[in-house]
C-alpha cells in the first residue's frame, strides 16, 4: 500500500459536479490531488481537478480504465457503474463506499427492504413493477389517498417523487416504471444527520440540521444548523444515523435524511453515501467540513471534530425562474455587503430555473439572525442569464 500523500498516491472520484469540486478544494488543503471522471471537463470539478477524464461513470469500460491506476476510488454521485467497481476492488483498488452498499442505496426499493430487514425505522411501503400495478392496487382498495410514489432508480432533487392525493393525480401524476409506494407521513420537521466512518470503525456525526423546503421547486430552501429540536431528539437522530452507517458498513460519509413526525418519532427517509447538500454549511461553520471528513473516512485517517463554530443557515442559490442560458450573477455586491455571508458558486456555465448554481452559508450569533440575513441574500442575489 502506497503512503497517503506520497507523490504517486492517487485518489479518483466518479462524478465531477459541485460535490466533486468542493471535495477537491478540501483535498487541496493537504495538497492531495484528486482525479475525476465525468462527461465534460467544463463541469464544476474541471477547474480544480489534478486531471479530469472525460467519460461516463455509468459505463463499465470507462470506470475500469479510470480506476486502474488509482489507489482509492470514491464517488460524488451514487448512480455509477458498480460492476466496474467490483472488478477494481478485486484488482486491489480500495473502493469507498463499497459497491454492495451503492447497489442497495441507488435503488430506493432495495434501500427500503434493507431498512425493513435491519429494523431501521422508515415509512411503510410496497414495491410495484409499474404504474399500472399501482392503479390496480388503488382500485382494489389496497392503497388509499394520499400516498407517495417513488421511482426506484430515476430520482434526484425530488424529480422521482410524486405525492398522489386523488383520482386526478392518479391519472396525471403517476411516474412511469418500477416504483414503490410509501405512506404519506405527516411531517413536523425534516432533519438530516451526516455521519462518517473510517475503516478502523471510528464513527462521528455532525450536528443535526433542519431542512426547510421550497414547495414550488421541491428543493431544500433553508438549511438550519443546529436544528431547533429537543436535545433528546437530537441525540436519537444522531444515534439512528450512526446505527445506519454501521449497518451499511460504509467508509466515508453517509447523509441520513430523516422525518420527524408530530409525535416525535424519527423515520429514515433516504440516505446518500457521499457529501450532501445538507452538509454544505460545515465548510464555514464546523471545525471539519463534510468534504474533509469524507476524505478522512475513505483514506482511513482519524475523523475530524464535528463541533460547530457558530449557528448557520445555508441557502441554495437556484437559477431564477424565467432565465435559461449563460450564467449571470445579479446583485453580487449587495449580497457580499451583508455580514457573515459566505458565497459558494459552482461555476456552472449555464443556468436554468431552479438549477443548483451555488449556495450561501450565513454565519451569525443566533439562528434568528442567520435566517433574517439569509432572506436578504435571497432578495438581493438573483442568478439569471445574459
Q: Which is nearer to Mg ion, 92 or 215 (CB)?
A: 215
Spell out, one character per residue from 240 to 259, where the chain touches ligand ATP: x when CB under 6 A holds, - when not. Answer: -----------------x--
* Gap between the Cα atoms of 300 and 298, Å rounded: 6
**What does 190 interact with, of ligand ATP, Mg ion, none (CB < 5 to 8 A by kind)?**
ligand ATP
Interacting span for ligand ATP (CB under 6 A) from 35-43, 150-158, 232-240, 281-289 = 150-158
Structural contact between residues 219 and 356, judged by C-beta atoms closer than 8 angstroms: yes
Closest to ligand ATP by CB, 10 or 280: 280
- Name the residue nearer to Mg ion (CB basis): 257 or 284: 257
Q: Which stretch binds ligand ATP (CB under 6 A): 46-54, 93-101, 155-163, 201-209?
A: 155-163
Q: How far apart are CA 144 and CA 204, in angstroms?
A: 40
Nearer to ligand ATP, 95 or 102 (CB): 102
Residue 160 binds which entry of Mg ion, ligand ATP, none, CB below 5-8 Å type-dependent: ligand ATP
What residue has cell string 478540501?
A: 26
Give Cα 83 to chain centroid, integer Å.
22
**Measured between alpha carbons, how far is residue 186 from residues 16, 147, 190, 219, 267 in Å?**
36, 11, 10, 18, 11
In order of 94, 268, 278, 367, the CA distances from 251 in angstroms are: 11, 19, 19, 32
Helices and strands, number each (H, E), in the chain: 12, 21
**DSSP 8-state assignment for residue 296:** H
- Span near ligand ATP by CB under 6 A; candidates 14-22, 159-167, 231-239, 318-326: 159-167
Establish if 17 lies at the interface with ligand ATP (CB under 6 A). no
Cβ distance to Mg ion smaller for residue 210 or 257: 257
Per CB under 6 A, does 170 bind ligand ATP?
no
**What is the footprint of Mg ion within residues 248-307 (CB under 5 A)?**
257
Query: CB under 8 Å to 376, separation ≥6 — which residues?
Result: 335, 338
Partner from ligand ATP, Mg ion, none contacting 156, C-beta within 5 to 8 A by type: ligand ATP
How far is Cα 177 from Cα 187, in angstroms, rounded to an integer? 27
Report the residue from 33, 158, 331, 353 that binds ligand ATP according to the rule CB under 6 A. Answer: 158
* Least spacing, CB of residue 154 vs ligand ATP, in Å: 9
Closer residue to ligand ATP (CB): 157 or 221: 157
Write out the three cell numbers for 131: 404504474
From the list Mg ion, ligand ATP, none, which binds 210 (C-beta under 5 to 8 Å, kind-based)? none
Asked if 210 touches ligand ATP (CB under 6 A), the answer is no
| Helical ranges in the chain per DSSP H | 18-29, 60-67, 82-90, 99-106, 108-117, 131-139, 167-172, 231-248, 282-285, 290-298, 332-336, 367-380
76 binds, among Mg ion, ligand ATP, none (CB under 5 to 8 A by kind): none
Burial 234-258 (b: 16+ CB within 10 A, else e): bebbbebbbbbbebbebbbbbbbbb
**Binding residue (CB under 6 A) for ligand ATP from 39, 54, 100, 157:** 157
Min dist. Cβ of residue 211 to Mg ion (A): 9
Q: How far is the CB of 183 from ligand ATP (least distance, A)?
A: 6
DSSP state of 5: T
**Does 174 participate in binding ligand ATP (rule CB under 6 A)?**
no
Rounded Cα distance, 268 and 28, in Å: 34
| Grid cell listed for 149 | 410514489
Rule CB under 6 A: is residue 269 a binding residue for ligand ATP? yes
Q: How many residues bind ligand ATP (CB under 6 A)?
A: 19
- In 3D, which of 264, 192, 206, 219 has the Cα closest to residue 356? 219
Q: Are 223 and 305 within 8 A, CB to CB? A: no
Q: Which stretch binds ligand ATP (CB under 6 A): 149-157, 241-249, 353-361, 371-379?
A: 149-157
Residue owning grid cell 444548523 = 225
Q: Quick one: 72 or 194, whose CB is closer to ligand ATP?
A: 194
Q: Which one, 161 or 363, has the nearer CB to ligand ATP?
A: 161
Helix, strand, or coil (residue 308):
strand
Residues that bind Mg ion (CB under 5 A): 257
For ligand ATP, the binding residues (CB under 6 A) are 123, 148, 150, 155-161, 182, 184-185, 187, 190, 213, 257, 269-270
Amino acid at each position: 500500500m502506497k503512503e497517503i500523500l506520497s507523490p504517486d498516491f492517487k485518489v479518483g472520484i466518479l462524478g465531477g459536479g459541485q460535490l466533486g469540486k468542493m471535495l477537491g478544494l478540501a483535498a487541496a488543503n493537504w495538497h492531495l490531488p484528486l482525479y475525476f471522471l465525468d462527461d465534460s471537463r467544463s463541469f464544476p470539478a474541471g477547474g480544480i481537478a489534478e486531471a479530469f477524464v472525460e467519460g461516463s461513470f455509468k459505463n463499465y469500460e470507462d470506470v475500469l480504465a479510470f480506476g486502474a491506476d488509482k489507489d482509492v476510488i470514491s464517488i460524488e454521485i451514487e448512480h455509477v457503474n458498480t460492476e466496474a467497481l467490483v472488478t477494481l476492488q478485486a484488482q486491489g483498488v480500495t473502493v469507498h463506499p463499497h459497491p454492495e452498499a451503492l447497489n442497495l442505496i441507488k435503488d430506493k426499493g432495495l434501500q427500503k427492504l434493507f431498512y425493513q430487514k435491519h429494523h431501521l425505522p422508515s415509512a411503510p411501503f410496497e414495491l410495484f413493477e409499474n404504474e399500472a400495478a399501482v392503479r390496480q392496487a388503488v382500485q382494489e382498495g389496497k392503497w388509499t389517498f394520499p400516498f407517495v410514489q417513488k421511482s426506484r432508480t430515476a430520482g434526484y432533487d425530488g424529480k422521482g417523487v410524486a405525492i398522489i392525493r386523488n383520482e386526478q393525480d392518479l391519472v396525471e401524476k403517476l411516474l412511469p416504471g418500477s416504483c414503490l409506494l410509501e405512506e404519506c407521513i405527516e411531517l413536523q420537521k425534516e432533519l438530516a444527520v451526516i455521519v462518517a466512518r473510517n475503516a478502523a470503525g471510528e464513527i462521528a456525526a455532525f450536528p443535526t440540521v433542519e431542512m426547510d423546503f421550497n414547495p414550488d421547486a421541491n428543493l431544500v430552501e433553508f438549511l438550519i444548523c443546529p436544528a431547533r429540536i429537543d436535545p433528546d431528539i437530537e441525540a436519537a437522530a444522531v444515534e439512528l444515523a450512526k446505527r445506519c452507517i454501521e449497518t451499511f458498513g460504509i467508509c466515508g460519509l453517509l447523509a441520513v435524511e430523516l422525518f420527524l413526525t408530530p409525535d416525535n418519532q424519527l423515520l429514515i427517509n433516504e440516505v446518500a453515501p457521499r457529501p450532501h447538500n445538507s452538509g454544505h454549511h460545515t465548510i464555514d461553520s464546523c471545525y471539519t467540513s463534510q468534504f474533509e471528513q469524507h476524505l478522512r473516512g475513505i483514506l482511513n485517517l482519524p475523523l475530524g471534530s464535528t463541533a460547530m463554530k457558530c449557528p448557520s443557515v445555508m441557502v441554495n442559490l437556484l437559477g431564477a425562474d424565467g432565465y435559461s442560458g449563460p450564467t449571470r450573477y445579479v446583485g453580487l455586491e449587495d449580497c457580499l455587503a451583508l455580514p457573515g455571508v459566505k458565497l459558494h458558486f459552482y461555476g456552472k456555465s449555464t443556468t436554468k430555473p431552479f438549477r443548483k448554481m451555488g449556495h450561501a452559508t450565513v454565519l451569525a450569533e443566533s439562528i434568528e439572525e442567520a435566517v433574517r440575513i439569509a432572506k436578504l441574500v435571497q432578495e438581493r442575489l438573483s442568478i439569471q442569464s445574459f
